[in-house]
Structure 1
Amino acid sequence: MNVNDFMAKHGITDADLDRMAAPYEDGSFEPEPDGKVFSGSHLDAVGTRRVTVVYDAKDTQRVAMIARSKGVKPSSVYRDALDYYLAAQA
């Protein structure tokens, strides 16, 4: 989903974005007393990070077959394999 689709889905206009960004841009932004403000990638804030890994085509086909047989996405199989590997290293 691109930003325009997201804005349309949530009924946000450019004027809304300008209004929401103004306090931050003019230096008057005050965070909630108990709220957290994160800098950097939103992925850092939620504790995940996207990585790119290149595998042989035949291996990715096997992963796709395993995922289909388990009713999960291939990314779940890759995550499980990485979890297994990391646990063995501990």
Structure 2
Amino acid sequence: MRHGPATRRGRPAVSGRIVLRLDRMMVERGRSLGWLARQVGITDANLSKIKNNHVSAIRFSTLAAICEALDCQPGDVLVYEADDGDDGTGPRP
């Protein structure tokens, strides 16, 4: 029994997306893109793609290295954004 639209693999269709708020965390910590890239062990270009949400996935090891370098939690840099523009941080009905 299906409970809504599904993708080709039978999973429910996703109506929102995960947004990276890495730029906000970098500003709060006073860290540059180059500094963070060196700490994480990736190129400035690849970190820039992550920071600007030009990636469709991120390795857990990369996320862990970012969190370690910025002394934060994954939820500090990852936010679910519903299609209606709600970033998921406000009160729920």
| Larger RCO, structure (CA 8 Å, separation 6 or more) | 2
TM-score normalised according to structure 1 size: 0.24
TM-score normalised according to structure 2 size: 0.24
Identify, as 1 or 2, the structure richer in strand: 2
Identify, as 1 or 2, the structure richer in helix: 1
